[in-house]
Structure formats: C-alpha cells, structure tokens
Chain A
C-alpha cells in the first residue's frame, strides 16, 4: 500500500482538542480518515447528586464558545422533568439570547476560525487599496470601505510582517496554490477580520443585559433571572433590563443585522465564488438531523418553531422523518471505537436515559506518534439515529427549513445559488455548509426583531413576569413519581443539542448530553460506519501538499468543531437506577 499517515494535531482555530489522522494514496487522495477527541473532563459525573436548579451552570461550562447553549438545554431538561411552565417573557428573552449567540458565534467562526483557510493574509500586501475599496463597494454599502481605510489596514499588516514577530500568523500556509483570492479580496477579508473582532465585543452586550455577562451569562430554571425594571423611579437602578437596557438590546439587534447584511453574507458569497469546486466535496453522510428551536409560543408547540425538528435521509428533501428523542430505538450512543466500556458489550448502543460510560483508555501511552485507528481512538462517542450517522448544524437546519417550505430560507438559498450558478445539490458540500451558516445567521438576525417587538408589547401591556415561582422550592416537586425524567433540547450554533436528566429525591441521579460535535466528530461505530467529519474528508479530497493539510482544515472547519462539547461521560451510580426506568 502506498498510503501514508497524515496527522493534524492540534487542529487549531476550533474549540477544544481535536486530532485528525488521515491516509492518502500516491496522488494525495484521502482514502481513510479518523477523528479523535483527545480531552475529557467528566462533567456528567460531576453533575450527579447536585441540585437540579444548579445544573445549568455546570453544564454551561461544557463550552465557553457556544456559551449559553448548554445552560439553555439544561434548564429546559429540568423544566421538562418537573412539568414546570415558564412565562412568555422568559421564552422571548431566551429566544433573543439564543439568537444572539447564533449571530455572534457564526460571524466569529467565519472570520476568526474559518477565513484563514480561504484568505491568504500575505497576499493582501500586494493589494491596491483603491481597487479594494471598489471591490468592497460593489458588494455592499458597508461604510468602512474607503481607500483610506484599506490603506491603513495594509500599512498595519506590512508593519506587523516587517517586525518579524508573526505571532498567530507564524508558519501559516501562505502562498499555498489552493489559495485563490485576488490580493484585493484578501485585504478586504483581513479588514473585516479586524472589524468583526470589534463588532463582536459590542453585540455580546445583549447577553450582558439579560444574563449579566458574556461569556457564560446566567440562566434560571423556571424562567429568566433578569427582572424587568421598566418604570423604576428615575435615577434609581433596578436591573439592567430597564428602559436604557432594552434600548441597548434594540441597538445591538440593529448592529447584528447591519453586519450580517453588509459584511458577513456578501463576504461569504464573494469568497465562495472563487472556490466553486468546494461545492463538490466534503459532505459524506447525506443524513441530517434537527431537534428544532425558537418557539413562537412555548416549547410544547413545535408547529411554531422557526427551525422544525426532524430527520432527512440520503439527501432526500421530499421527506422529513419525525424525531422522538425519548424513543430508545431512535437515539443511541455507541462506543465501539471510543475509550469507554459498556456493561452490555462494546458493540451495543444505549439510549441516553440508559447511558453508561466508564472511562477506559486503551490508546498508546503518551507521548505517541500515531493512534491505533483500527481499535479505539477517541474520547467522543458515536451517536446514531435508528442506527445511522447524522450530520447536525447549519446545513441540516437550512435543509430542514428549505424542505419544510420556510419562504425566507427558500428565497435566500435559491437566489444565492442562482447568483453562483450552482444547483441545489451544491449545498451538500464543504462550501455549502459554510454558506448555510451565513444564510441561517441572516434568518435568525431578522427574526430577532419580531421577538424583541413581542417582548416590548408584553411589557407595554403590563406583563412583567419573567419567572414562575410556583415550583422553585424543591419541596414542591414531590408527586406520585419518585423519579422524574426530562429532556431539554435546543438548536445550538453547531447543531442539535439535547440533555437528558433524571431527578430523584430532589437531586440529579443521572445527567447525559448528546451534543452537536458528538454527532459530527464521533468515530466509527460497531458497523464500521464513519462519522460525518471522517466521511466528509473521504469525499473527493486531494491534498496538494501533505505537509500543509489546508484541504483537511477547510472541511473540518466548515463544521465549526467544538470538542469540549463533544466529549462527555455519565455517572456510575446513576446507571442501575436508570436502566430500570427504560421502557
């Protein structure tokens, strides 16, 4: 065999610790790929025995990039277990916060984590600032597009390069022939990289109003923690959610919409136009799953979700299969190639309520050169829907909204593909995934105005309720059921996320999370089916230079990996209890 192992560890510009081992044939075509999460903390073990009302804070620390999403899934899971309704204002505040996370996170992903896969920073030194300004102005009416502005950015870059201290740009793949943007597009993208850094600081303030800070804003079982202080006596400070705070929220929503419309979306499509071959590779599974989110009324009314729940199989958009997270036949996690043991056997799959995990590292003793990818090779499990691997995330959501006939989505996707002269099938690709992220950012950013106006209308009508106190005291939880179980789900920026909780004697008896990057980054299962990262890398990828695995980074980054999220484990005490409960 003329194959050669290519190792990328650490995969940078992601959250967490990810390692890719790939094999390529003599022509550089990737023939085999293995995705490995190399860090574990054991947060689910740590959660056992805690007060369920505290769980969101622990769970939220699963990830600080997609901050908020695990907090949301956690409070929803506990509320589901306790049949604990929340006031309409709390629902709207959560929508505003989740939506803000989408917009903030997706823009940062594009500019700060993904862009350098397509943008050659050094080439920007050759750019003509006047021509760059012309290019930028042809794409949108973004105000910071003057020749002087681009000239300043170029000067700053030149001085940085000439200092000889290249910092985060050292050893990049500059000059690699796979970089195809003209110098002016590279300079424009670099300017927007810097603008996006400043922009994201400003829009994070929405979370600070409702959650007190960002990253890691605060949440609350039974509603939202931020009491509304409109009408509090002038000069007295109630909470941050006063008239000024709500005006700031409106201002931030405007800032979000402007940046998405004037910068992020046009940049994505402009860059995509230079890389149209990347619409033909990098989607290897063809199955997509969403658990749905952004309810208009309450979570128990799925018909009003902005993103519907469901499953698409084999790229067939004509049929959406129903999803039931409670069904042990539908959702199962496998550990056939992960560093865990199952009491039911290494090849079996377990529903999260019955989930069990015993850390059992069988990999090479560090320091090591290679993993044994024929055996166990990751701290990430392999979740499956009815035994099949699923891709989750922006592409899954956009396809789901498209397939279910959401008019703004269809219009956006059709018009972009028309401009690029590409068929709908082009969405099943690395660049399709990257474009889908920009599409849904616009859809969510636009929808934020609606949630905001609804919240303001409630407040004007005198409804200031943000928290349901009725079930706050754990002594009110006793019912005919000694053990209570609940599922909390959300669409996180990186995809479908669900937490399963078991509450017994007012404490958490079991906690399990199946998160977006577990679906996407997981290793092969017992049947040998590859996970989405692995299958994507094996879909039409030819490496130009094995020493500079730019092609691998492009496709892996298009998923926006979050590996701290992907790796988790469950307790040993809760296992017996839970097995009894499974129907």
Chain B
C-alpha cells in the first residue's frame, strides 16, 4: 500500500464507482445551494470536480482541543467518510492518521512535494509566539516553523475554529503563551476563517467543497469569513425573535417563558452580536442549536468573545432598543419582499455600528 501509481482523476473514479453524471450534478447543485451560488454553477462545478485529482489537504493541529476535528466528523453533508474517501486526499491529520512519528512527517513532506503550490492547508488551533514558540511543538519543531513551512506551498489556507481564526481561548486574557491566529502570521496567501467553538461542521465541509469545485475560496467579509454563512446574526434568523419583538423574555432558565421558547435576551444571549449560521443550519442534523436548547448564544464565533464579559450578562439595553425599532420598521414594510431585505441590511448596519 506504500507504492504510488499514477493517480486517476476524480471523474474517472466516480464513473468507475458507478456514479452517473446526473447524480453527480445533483450533488454539485446541493453544494452550490449551500454556498449561495446560482444553480447555473452546478455543471461548472461538476466539470471542475471531474477533471481533478482528489484535492490534497494538509491539516495542521496547533494549540487546540480537537473539538474542530470532532465537529467535522459530525457533518451530514458531505460526510467525513465521503470527503476523505471520495473528494479529498487527507494527507496529514494527526487525529485520524494511521502512521505516527517520522513516518507521518514523511507522509506530509511527500504530499507537499507532490502537490507543491496546489494543496490546501487547514489549521486548527492558535500559534504561540512567546519565548520562541516553546509552548507548542510537534516533532521537535515549533508550530510557527511548521505553519510557515507548510503555508509556503499551499494554494490557500482554511483557519478552522475561533482559535486558528482569531486566537480563541489561548489568546484570552492574559494570553499566557502569546497565542496568535493564522492571519497574524501568514499574509501572502489567501486565508479563510471558519470561526466557531467549534465551527458548524456543514459550514466547514461546505467551504472545503467550494474550494474543490471552484478551485478558489468563497466570497468573504472583512474578517475573512464566508459570507454565505456569516452574513447574518444568529438573532436575525432566530425562531424566538418574535418574542423579542413582543418583549417576552424568559427571566430564569426553567420558568414559563423558558419552557415556551421566549427570548433569552435577559439571560445574556449574544445572538444579536454574533454572526453565524446556527439558527438556520442548526446542529447535529438540525436537531437543535444552543438557543433552542434553552441556553443563550455565547457568541463563540466572534473575535475575542471570551473577553467580552459574562455569558449571562444581558447586552446593553440601548442596543436592544435600537434593534427592536429597526425590527418594527421592517415589520411596517412587510407584505412585500422589501421588508426582509431591508431588515437584513438595517440590522447588519446596526451590528457593525455596535461591533
């Protein structure tokens, strides 16, 4: 199994496995829709995928808790097994890799050499910069050295989770190890952030799939996040928002309001200031998301959310009022399609002012 033959293209592989072009197109259409791309992109994506070798992915784990990797294994579409057996070649990943020690390092070097300039680097965890980086090493090498070395030959980098994207928990005050995010270190490569503690697995899988099919990273906002998933706040799409508008708030975690799904604003919910797809994509096959299970959003996909005060302190009153008046304005404009769009734009503007 250690010998390498000339690799075939993904299209050939899929055909041999009996996947019809029709099925394949359907997959690509679903992918396009998940990334908010027009349906006309599906055949383009299908052609791109069919022509490609399985995309080499090199996954680097630094100051992390492995929650991001665990999260990816919970993805339903595409599944992890579909990703690693059918669509990507996961050439270096500590949690899943069979080999260990120098064999696994050799596998990484080989994959980098064979795919120089083309492989996708995925990073989870922050990078400690203090004291020469001694606070995290792999194979005797600092995370900083490994990141620089691997980034050099990467086509693009995906920073997975809030630690790789913004420094996350290790960077929380007083940042004992000088932890830093990828974007503080790598400035000459395209980097996309998929924040969340952990990120929603389908969001991460979607970003990888987007790169596979289009060969580039999806459209991003100023914080390098994919707009398709981070364009709106959790609050804007929350099923409890009608209660917010009616001033109906749970006052404790098991009172009548809490049982009836009233808004968790007064129990500290950070949904109004948090951009993520939790309220729409939801978690674990759409079973729930934090607010639906009675706990306020803790804002885990936002930069420095660990240092923004208690998770149970309500957001300042003024912001709520302004959010509410915007919501009311949008209500008045309802009846046409304009309301939703207006609300969305207005809330976004308000969030930026607050942020």
Q: Residues of A at under 8 Å CB distance from B?
A: 7-17, 38-43, 45-46, 51, 53-54, 57-58, 61-65, 67, 108, 112-113, 116, 121-122, 156, 159-174, 194, 197-198, 200-202, 204-205, 207-218, 220, 222-223, 225-229, 232, 236-241, 245, 248, 359, 361, 363-369, 379, 464-467, 469, 472, 548-549, 553, 564, 569
Pick 20 A–B contacts, CB within 8 A, sort by A: A10-B101, A12-B98, A13-B95, A43-B169, A46-B306, A57-B298, A64-B64, A64-B68, A163-B8, A164-B5, A164-B6, A172-B98, A218-B295, A222-B253, A228-B254, A229-B259, A239-B292, A239-B294, A467-B253, A549-B101
A152 CB, nearest partner CB in chain B, Å = 10
Contact B100 A12, beta carbon cutoff 8 Å:
yes
| Stretch with Cβ within 8 A of A (4 or more), from B181-189, B280-288, B341-349 | B280-288
A308 CB, nearest partner CB in chain B, Å = 30
Query: B256: nearest residue on chain A (CB-CB)?
Result: A227
Interchain CA distance A222-B142 in the complex, whole Å:
42
Contact A61 B197, beta carbon cutoff 8 Å:
yes
Q: Residues of B at under 8 Å CB distance from A?
A: 1-2, 4-8, 13, 16-17, 53-54, 56, 61-71, 73-76, 79-81, 84-85, 88-91, 93-107, 110-111, 131-142, 145, 168-170, 172-177, 179, 197-198, 239, 250, 252-255, 258-261, 278, 283-285, 287-295, 298, 300, 306, 310-312
Most B CB within 10 A of own CB, among A9, A16, A200, A467 = A9
Contact A225 B90, beta carbon cutoff 8 Å:
no
Most B CB within 10 A of own CB, among A42, A215, A241, A361 = A215
Given contacts A12-B97, A65-B66, contact A208 B283 (CB under 8 A): yes
Known: A167-B89, A237-B261. 5 other contacts (CB 8 A): A46-B172, A164-B6, A168-B90, A170-B107, A238-B260
Residues in chain A near residue B141, CB distance under 8 A: 366-367
Given contacts A12-B104, A45-B174, A237-B292, contact A212 B283 (CB under 8 A): yes
Residues in chain B near residue A156, CB distance under 8 A: 17, 85
Contact A241 B198, beta carbon cutoff 8 Å:
no
Query: A465: nearest residue on chain B (CB-CB)?
Result: B254
Residues in chain A near residue B145, CB distance under 8 A: 366-367
Given contacts A9-B101, A171-B103, A212-B293, contact A198 B169 (CB under 8 A): no
Given contacts A170-B107, A215-B198, contact A469 B176 (CB under 8 A): no
Interchain CA distance A46-B177 in the complex, whole Å:
11
Interchain CA distance A464-B100 in the complex, whole Å:
50
Contact A163 B74, beta carbon cutoff 8 Å:
no
Residues in chain B near residue A464, CB distance under 8 A: 254, 259
Contact B64 A564, beta carbon cutoff 8 Å:
yes
Given contacts A122-B1, A467-B252, contact A213 B7 (CB under 8 A): no
B84 CB, nearest partner CB in chain A, Å = 6
Most B CB within 10 A of own CB, among A7, A61, A569 = A61
Residues in chain A near residue B69, CB distance under 8 A: 64
Contact A223 B81, beta carbon cutoff 8 Å:
no
A467 CB, nearest partner CB in chain B, Å = 4
Residues in chain B near residue A548, CB distance under 8 A: 103
Residues in chain A near residue B105, CB distance under 8 A: 10
Query: A49: nearest residue on chain B (CB-CB)?
Result: B173
Interchain CA distance A237-B255 in the complex, whole Å:
15
Residues in chain B near residue A220, CB distance under 8 A: 253, 295
Interchain CA distance A359-B131 in the complex, whole Å:
11
Given contacts A227-B254, A236-B260, contact A201 B85 (CB under 8 A): no
Closest 8 pairs between A and B when the two form their complex, measured CB to CB = A64-B67, A42-B176, A212-B290, A172-B98, A212-B293, A225-B295, A240-B288, A208-B284
